[in-house]
């Protein structure tokens, strides 16, 4: 079977014969079908500049997008071993050369947070996993799939992607509507009942996103939070990738709990790099990095779960205040009164207006005097 990196140098008649679904690529993009005797490279080189501008593309992006589309078809035509039961990370070394004393195995449905100060190596760890490092990256780490080393040819084959990466900056390279974009991905995966699946992806994304996503909105016009929500829903419902890497979603304005629950429900192995204590404590375990190396791997304790419940109430109030400010409302009610209401008093033991109020293990001052009109807090978590 022809590899994806060769596909752009073959006459398109051969490509269409080997992969009948390729025609969907041009239809979904609203682009003319290439002549049978030209290659994709030749087709792209001679494509009218106005067509590219209309799609928001440059020629190199069109080639990459075409390769990705064919890669999805190859996964169906030329299936590979994608039953990932576990992933194991074996220690390398930190920036000083000190060895990482760690071997961490994750299985289906596991959620692990990756924490540490800026520059500690969170993104580098995710990159090692994405590239299935075999002791050949700057950290010296190795990644095993199902307790076995990853074959070199399989590692670098673009049609055998077992890792989905959701980064801080989600940039779309095609100017399609949300409906067209999801449909094109579903077609590439040879999904059945595409129209209902597209609706399901968009509806699911809207349960996560802080701002509604319209099916007719251009993907290039989506906000960062909307883009992230759409790609999480798409990864969960359309993508084959059993491993999902997320790099900081705390500022995206999405429902983090629902996002993680969705991926776990689909038996994904999820690693999320974050500075957010709420997101960090949602995970089963957390990898703590320092100086480019793995310092510790900690399991979330029952007491931390209690703190998480308190933090989520505080977080929901912060989100409600954000919405109130955006809606031109005033916020004059005491913050801790809003927290008390959001928790239904269950986390509070109020002794007097002058005493501290425990919220789980978090001790905060409580102002019993309320001023101004009561603000009705709206929770998004």
Residue 14 pLDDT > 90: no
Phi-psi region of 25 (alpha: psi -120 to 50; beta: other; left: phi over 0): alpha
Q: Does 281 have pLDDT greater than 90?
A: yes
Most confident of the following: 61-65, 176-180, 290-294: 290-294
Average pLDDT, the chain: 80
pLDDT at 236 over 50: yes
Highest mean pLDDT out of 14-23, 78-87, 306-315: 306-315
| Of 299, 254, 258, residue with least CA distance to 281 | 299
pLDDT at 238 over 70: yes
> Of the ranges 125-129, 143-147, 245-249, 343-347, which one carries the lowest mean pLDDT score?
343-347
Contacts of 369 by beta carbon, 8 Å cutoff, 6+ apart: 334, 353
At residue 296, φ and ψ (nearest 5 deg) are -150, 160
370 pLDDT more than 90: no
118-172 pLDDT, tens digit each: 999 999 999 999 888 899 889 999 999 999 988 765 666 555 578 888 876 566 6
Looking at the predicted structure, is the pLDDT value of residue 79 above 60?
A: no
88-301 maps to CATH 3.40.50.2020: no
pLDDT at 355: 45
pLDDT value at residue 184: 87
Segments of the chain assigned to CATH 3.40.50.300: 88-301
Q: Are 315 and 256 in contact (CB under 8 A)?
A: no
| 3-state secondary structure labels for all residues of 266-292 | CCCEEEEECCCHHHHHHCCEEEEEECC
Which residue did the predictor score with more confidence, 24 or 122? 122
Of all residues in the chain, what percent carry a pLDDT higher than 90?
Answer: 35
Q: What is the pLDDT of residues 25-53, one digit of tens each?
A: 776 667 788 888 888 888 888 888 777 77
Counting other chains too, the contacts that 38-44 makes at CB distance below 8 Å and 24 or more residues apart are 38/11, 38/12, 39/8, 39/9, 39/10, 39/11, 39/12, 40/7, 40/8, 40/9, 40/10, 40/12, 40/15, 40/66, 41/8, 41/9, 43/12, 44/8
Q: What is the pLDDT of residues 304-331, one digit of tens each?
A: 999 998 898 888 888 888 878 988 999 8
Q: Are 191 and 238 in contact (CB under 8 A)?
A: yes
Instruction: Please check whether residue 271 is in contact with residue 245, taking contact to mean a CB–CB distance below 8 angstroms.
Output: yes
Angle between helices 178-188 and 22-29 (to 10 degrees): 170
The pLDDT value recorded for residue 318 is 86
What was the pLDDT predicted at 351?
A: 36
Q: What is the mean pLDDT of residues 282-297?
A: 95
pLDDT classification of 250: cutoffs 50, 70, 90: low
How much is the pLDDT for 345?
A: 66
Q: What is the mean pLDDT of residues 99-116?
A: 95
Q: Is the pTM of this model over 0.95?
A: no
Q: How many other β-carbons are positioned within 10 Å of the β-carbon of residue 220?
A: 15
Output phi, psi for 330, to 5 deg. -95, 150
* pLDDT tens digits, one per residue of 197-223: 999 999 999 999 878 999 999 988 888
- Cβ-count burial of 326 within 10 angstroms (0-12 exposed, 13-18 middle, 19+ buried)? exposed
Phi, psi (rounded to 5 degrees) for 247: -110, 95
Q: Assess whether pLDDT exceeds 90 at residue 96.
A: yes
Q: Which of 26, 29, 5 is nearest to 16 (CA)?
A: 26
**pLDDT band for position 115 (50/70/90)?**
very high
Cα 64 to Cα 264: distance, rounded to the nearest angstrom: 30
Instruction: Return the SS3 of 236.
Output: helix
């Amino acid at each position: 079977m022809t590899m994806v990196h060769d596909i752009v140098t073959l006459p398109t008649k051969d490509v269409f014969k080997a992969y009948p679904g390729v025609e969907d690529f041009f239809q979904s993009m609203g682009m003319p079908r290439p002549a049978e005797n030209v290659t994709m490279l030749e087709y792209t080189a001679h494509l009218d500049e106005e067509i590219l501008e209309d799609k928001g593309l440059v020629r190199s992006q069109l080639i990459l997008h075409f390769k990705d589309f064919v890669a999805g078809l190859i996964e169906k035509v030329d299936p590979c071993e994608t039953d990932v039961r576990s992933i194991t990370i074996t220690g390398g070394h930190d920036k000083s050369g000190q060895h990482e004393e760690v071997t961490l195995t994750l299985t289906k449905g596991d959620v692990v947070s990756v924490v540490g100060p800026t520059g500690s190596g969170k993104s580098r760890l995710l990159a090692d996993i994405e590239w299935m490092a075999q002791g050949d990256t700057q950290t010296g780490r190795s990644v095993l799939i199902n307790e076995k080393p990853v074959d070199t040819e399989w590692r670098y084959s673009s049609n055998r992607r077992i890792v989905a990466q959701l980064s801080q900056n989600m940039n779309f390279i095609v100017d399609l509507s949300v409906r067209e974009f999801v449909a094109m991905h579903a077609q590439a995966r040879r999904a059945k009942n595409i129209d209902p699946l597209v609706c399901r992806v968009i509806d699911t994304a809207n349960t996560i996103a802080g701002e509604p996503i319209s099916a007719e909105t251009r993907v290039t016009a989506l906000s960062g939070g909307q883009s992230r929500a759409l790609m999480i829903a798409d990864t969960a419902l359309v993508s084959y990738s059993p491993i999902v890497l997320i790099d900081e979603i705390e500022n995206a304005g999405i429902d983090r709990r629902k996002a993680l629950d969705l991926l776990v429900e689909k038996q994904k192995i999820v690693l999320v790099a974050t500075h957010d204590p709420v997101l960090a404590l949602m995970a089963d375990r957390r990898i703590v990095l320092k100086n480019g190396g793995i310092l510790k791997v900690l399991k979330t304790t029952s007491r931390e779960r209690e703190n998480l419940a308190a933090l989520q109430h505080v977080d929901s109030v912060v989100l409600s205040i954000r919405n109130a400010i955006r809606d031109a409302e005033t916020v004059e009610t005491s913050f801790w009164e809003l927290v008390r209401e959001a928790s239904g008093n269950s986390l509070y033991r109020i002794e007097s207006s002058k005493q501290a109020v425990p919220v789980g293990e978090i001790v905060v001052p409580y102002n019993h005097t309320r001023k101004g009109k009561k603000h009705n807090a709206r929770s998004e978590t």
